[in-house]
Amino acid sequence: MSVDMNSQASDSNEDDFGPNSEEEEDEGGEEEDQGDIADYYEGVASDVEQQGADSFDPEEYQFTCLSYRESQRVLTEEVNSVATALKVLPAVAKLILVHFHWQVSVILDRYKSNSSQLLCEAQVQPSSCRSVTASPQSLQCGVCLQLVRKDALLSLPCQHSFCKSCWEQHCTVLVKDGVGVGISCMAQDCSLQMPEDFVLPLLPSEELKEKYRRYLFRDYVESHFQLQLCPGADCPIVIQVQEPRARRVQCSRCSEVFCFKCRQMYHAPTDCGTIRKWLTKCADDSETANYISAHTKDCPKCNICIEKNGGCNHMQCSKCKHDFCWMCLGDWKTHGSEYYECSRYKENPDIVNQSQQAQAREALKKYLFYFERWENHNKSLQLEAQTYQRIQEKIQERVMNNLGTWIDWQYMQNAAKLLAKCRYTLQYTYPYAYYMESGPRKKLFEYQQAQLEAEIENLSWKVERADSYERGVGEGELNANDRGDLENQMHIAEQRRRTLLKDFHDT
CA distances from 489 to 323, 324, 418 (A): 20, 21, 10
CA distances from 439 to 25, 67, 341, 443, 445 (A): 52, 47, 17, 6, 10
- Please name which of 131, 139, 132 lies closest in space to residue 162, comparing C-alpha atoms: 139
Catalytic site residue from 312, 325, 342, 422: 312
Return all residues near 482 (Cβ < 8 A) that are at least 6 apart. 466, 469
Task: Please write down the long-range contacts of 346-349, taking CB distance under 8 Å and 24 or more positions apart.
Answer: 347/438
Pairing of strands 296-298, 257-259: unpaired
CA distances from 45 to 201, 271, 311 (A): 54, 23, 22
Cβ atoms 185, 160 nearer than 8 A? yes
Q: What angle do CA 459, 462, 464 make, to 5 degrees?
A: 105
312 is catalytic: yes
- Please name which of 421, 316, 313 lies closest in space to residue 375, comparing C-alpha atoms: 313
CB-based burial label for 21 (10 Å; 0-12, 13-18, 19+): exposed
Element spanning 296, H or E: strand 296-298
Burial call 79-88: b when 16+ CB within 10 Å, e when fewer? beebbeebeb
CA-CA distance, 440 to 271, in Å (whole number)?
20
Tell me how long the chain is. Answer: 507
Catalytic center residues = 312
